[in-house]
Chain A
Amino acid sequence: MRTVSLTVNGVPHELELEPRELLVYVLRDRLGLTGTVVGCDTSSCGACTVLLDGESVKSCTLLGVQADGHAVTTIEGLSADGELHPLQQAFREHHALQCGYCTSGMILAAVSLLAENPRPSEEEIRRGLEGNLCRCTGYQNIVDAIAAVAS
């Protein structure tokens, strides 16, 4: 077991972790943050995407111990003071989700995408989302939601 200090959604935590524990299970099983979900076991689908120091990472590719000293933002930490983040609002307005399982990861990937490139073209949005799979929407409304926030 290793002692790990990390900040999740602004709250500092000190945890005793097995070195093999993936960050996604630390979030889900230890901290009860079930908004981050697991969709695959090959880091393909992006359902588990969170922000690590503001940049999107797949929390199934990261060990909990690797998050030592870092700040993690999950979907639960994205809205502030009861106000939805503009991307959360845009996903609603544009019907950019159906079952909602990929949505947490998709929104956080989009936050990171817009931080890197505030005015992406449609092509850049589509390329930027290559690591996040959605099986319900056919993607167009997700792309439109992100484009709406970007403009």
Chain B
Amino acid sequence: MTAAAEVEVGRIVGAPVERKEDEKLVQGQAQWVDDMRAPGMVYLHVVRSPYAHARLVRVDVSPALAHAGVVAAWSGADLADEWQGSLPCAWLPTEETNAPEHTPLAVEKVRHAGDGVAVVVAESRAAAVDAAELVEVEYEPLPAVVDAEQALEEGAPLVHEQFGTNRCYTWTLEAGEVDRLFAEAEVVVRERYRQNRLIPNAIEPRAVFVTTVPAAGEFTLWSTTQVPHIARVTLSGVTGIPEAKLRVIAPDVGGGFGSKLDVYAEEALALVVARRLGRPVKWTETRSEGYLSTIHGRDQIQEIELAATSEGRITAVRARLTAAMGAYLQLVTPGIPLLGAWLYAGAYDVQAYRFECTGVFTNTVPTDAYRGAGRPEATYAIERAVDALARALGKDPAEVRRLNLIREFPATIASGLTIDSGDYHANLDVALRLCGYDDLRAEQRARRAAGDPKRLGVGLSTYVEMCGLAPSKILGAIRYSAGGWDAATIRCLPTGTVQVLTGTSPHGQGHETSWAQIVAERLGYELEEIEVLHGDTSVVPLGMDTYGSRSLPVGGVAVYLAADRILAKATRLAAHLLGVGESQVEYARGTFSAPEGSLTLKEVALAAWTAHDLPEGMEPGLEATYVYDPPNFSWPAGAHVAVVEVDTETGAVELVRYVAVDDVGTVVNPKIVDGQIQGGLAQGVAQALYEEAIYDEDGNLLTSNMTTYLVPSAAEFPRWELQRTVTPSPTNPLGVKGVGETGTIASPPAVINAVLDALAEDGVREIEMPATPERVWRALQEARR
């Protein structure tokens, strides 16, 4: 075969084509899980604990059974014999990790407000909700603990008594002579930060719909999930439904951001209720219910120390986390802080490194993956600490960064992994130029000189992140239960169209378009001739789903490599049909040419299907599968600049400009890539300025609905100013890196650094996220005292 080994960027890959997904979406023709219905369908409602911590004395569902329209009602004890296993946690970081049993309904004790205690099943949604009010539950309230540090104190209420502690695990990573470098350091910076607890808020609430063929023992689960393949494997384990009898479908899914990267109690409950009743079952959460039952993100205390020279050269980094797990371990709860474990030295060249994380149970909704998952936390800590170092030395934060940024790639970093490619100094230079850094500093000085109560602040974040989970071998080494590969199948159909089966499961990322671009570029089809199928375990049996910015660098590369296999077979067949040797066949854009004539790939596909004249030993059909296991993570990096105005009279912060320069490797579709970055930025800025899930000391979620948890609107954001540098990743043939989480990872420290930069001369050194007007105002009063 003579096809080029590297993808040609230009005709289709790299073009800002409109998305294939949108035609139906703009006309309201998506198929969401809550749209599903079937004859005989019943509605499931979960009765939830109002207490954060209580013993379950009595659960009596019989009053609900008397309500009109009710089909069944069961307590946790009633369903106990349905469970073949616990709800899954796929990542126990150490052998000694305390991993509690987690049944879909609580039996003896509830451990967070929202913990399910019973289900009511009825002919209508309204009847189920009404009857749920009649379930009698007697609770014996227990003292609750909601703060991770308090949970580690002697005498704290125990979330899981059997462990005798609220500590879930402690995990450490150390490389180099950390203590010596700290002892010898000319400057040491010690900082402590709080990662506010966040609620992901995909705009589509979670929903589940189950159908069954009772006599065949078959079940189909439609779920608002990012992970249909993982859900099938694990829910088979929870319910005892054989994996081969369980089909999981993620139809159109309305956003996830990690919150739908999980296997939830309601999926298991709907399956066993369908099994008991032999009827279709639907469950849909309300938004407020989701705040109590769908995972939260972040909620960590971070301590970080930098050892540095008096010039500002960082030699070593020590980081210590106390990370709230919440009441139970969801799919990857304990692993989330570890996803940042290698990144607490950020994009900087340091000699030694120590990271330690302690996971802690609290009487709160479990934490788990929320966009960035571990990496926003790491980036926040190091980027804030670098600013603190610059302040301690009286240097410009851009200069201190320039001094420390990694120069040579591939770069093996102190924490032990190898960064694929990048040009970090270029990222910073472009960002500073774009924002007009010197002019901004001049304006800042002018405002200060004029005594303007509205201070100007400029904040930097020069980040690197690791994504594209992941080499299976590394995942195994850090005790993650599954692999990091993904699969693609390409079928060249006899009538000239193509099906692409992908193991990724998009929920807004536009894989139907981007994957079609990769195939169109490689195989010479038009975009309209390519259909990308996903999110159905019976249509696409092999897959590892969508999370951790893995879809393009793993699943997209699998598509590219499957296309290679199509070309290999098609070249052989074309040569046979043209009566020449393979080496005489030239391939370009869908056509095989030889001196004797030419054939299109479509003609070859038809010939492969009729199979009338195949080379000796060739199987009929033109179809290829590639299961790709990446050799490395992918390492997007960039430099972001936030510009804020802080009103020192009211404490109000306005983000007036935001410049983001990102290197995500080869860009398949610039519209989609920019869209991912813009959306990520909005979520990161929201963490810095607006959002926080707040519990009172009894474990009541005070931000219990969308009126009190402040998801920002269009009015809260400036225009995003985006620019790219491109260093293709050498670890995959497309040269791509992940892009889904960069904005969320890079932006919180840029914003907070800007706020603190604005108030530096007022003596303000710390403002916790979110930097609300009240927090800013109080910090100013404190500093003036």
Residues on A facing B (Cβ under 8 Å): 18, 20, 28, 33-42, 44-45, 47, 74-76, 78-79, 84, 88-89, 91-93, 95, 97-104, 107, 122, 125-127, 129-143
Contacts and interface: CB of A to CB of B under 8 A. Distances in A.
B25 interface: yes
Interface in B113-127: 126
A98 B510 contact: yes
Contacts of A75: 26-28
Contact of B714 (A33, A39, A74, A139): A139
A36 B30 CA distance: 10
12 contacts: A33-B28, A34-B31, A38-B284, A40-B205, A40-B706, A91-B22, A99-B507, A126-B713, A137-B679, A139-B678, A139-B714, A140-B719
Contacts of A39: 203-205, 287
B32 interface: yes
A135 B510 CA distance: 15
A143 B719 CA distance: 10
A125 B675 contact: no
A74 to B, nearest CB: 7
A99 B682 contact: no
Contacts of A76: 27-28
Most chain B beta carbons < 10 A, residue from A44, A89, A95, A133: A95
Nearest to A85: B26
A142 B507 contact: no
Given A95-B19, A100-B22, A140-B717, A38 B253 contact: no
A131 B29 CA distance: 23
A103 B681 contact: no
A43 B651 CA distance: 28
Contacts of B203: 39, 45, 47, 99, 101-102, 133-136
Contact of A135 (B25, B32, B202): B202
Give 10 nearest A-B pairs by CB, closest first: A35-B28, A101-B254, A99-B508, A100-B25, A75-B28, A138-B678, A44-B706, A98-B508, A138-B682, A40-B287
A35 B27 contact: yes
B18 interface: yes
Contacts of B34: 28, 34, 37-38
A37 B204 CA distance: 8
B23 interface: yes
Interface in B636-680: 671-672, 674-675, 678-680
A135 B286 CA distance: 17
A74 B255 contact: no
B674 to A, nearest CB: 8
A139 B718 CA distance: 10
A92 B27 contact: no
B678 A137 contact: yes
Given A99-B254, A129-B713, A140-B720, A45 B32 contact: no
Given A84-B27, A97-B22, A135-B679, A40 B705 contact: yes
Nearest to B124: A29
Contact of B25 (A38, A40, A103): A103
B462 interface: no
Given A39-B205, A135-B201, A34 B706 contact: no
Interface string B740-778: 000100000000000000000000000000000000000
A36 B27 CA distance: 10
Contacts of B202: 99, 101, 135
Interface centre among B22, B284, B719 (most CB of A within 10 A): B22
A138 to B, nearest CB: 3
Contacts of B671: 95
Nearest to B674: A95
Given A99-B254, A101-B255, A74 B28 contact: yes
Contact of B679 (A33, A84, A136): A136
Interface in B1-51: 18-19, 21-23, 25-32, 34-35
B415 interface: no
Interface of B: 18-19, 21-23, 25-32, 34-35, 126, 201-205, 252-255, 257, 284, 286-288, 507-510, 671-672, 674-675, 678-683, 705-707, 711, 713-715, 717, 719-720, 743
Nearest to B286: A41
Contact of A98 (B255, B288, B706, B714): B255
- Chain A CB within 10 Å — which of B203, B205, B717 has the most? B203
Contact of B253 (A40, A78, A99): A99
B675 A130 contact: no
A31 to B, nearest CB: 12
Contacts of A103: 25-26
A98 B679 contact: yes
B205 A38 contact: yes
Contacts of B28: 33-36, 74-76, 104
Nearest to B719: A140
Q: Of residues A35, A125, A138, which shows the largest number of chain B Cβ atoms within 10 Å of its Cβ?
A: A138
Given A40-B705, A99-B507, A133 B204 contact: no
Contact of B26 (A42, A97, A98): A97
A8 B30 CA distance: 19
B508 A45 contact: no
A47 B287 CA distance: 12
Contacts of A92: 18-19, 22-23, 26
B749 to A, nearest CB: 18
Contacts of B22: 91-92, 97, 100
Given A37-B204, A92-B22, A101-B254, A139 B675 contact: no
A129 to B, nearest CB: 4
B124 to A, nearest CB: 9
B714 A97 contact: no
A113 to B, nearest CB: 11
A35 B32 CA distance: 9
Given A42-B288, A92-B26, A100 B705 contact: no
Contacts of A129: 713-715
Nearest to A104: B28
B363 to A, nearest CB: 24
Given A75-B26, A135-B203, A136-B508, 17 more contacts: A42-B287, A42-B706, A47-B203, A76-B27, A92-B19, A92-B22, A95-B674, A97-B25, A98-B675, A99-B202, A100-B25, A100-B30, A129-B714, A129-B715, A134-B203, A139-B678, A140-B720
B706 A136 contact: no
Contacts of A89: 26
A100 B713 contact: no
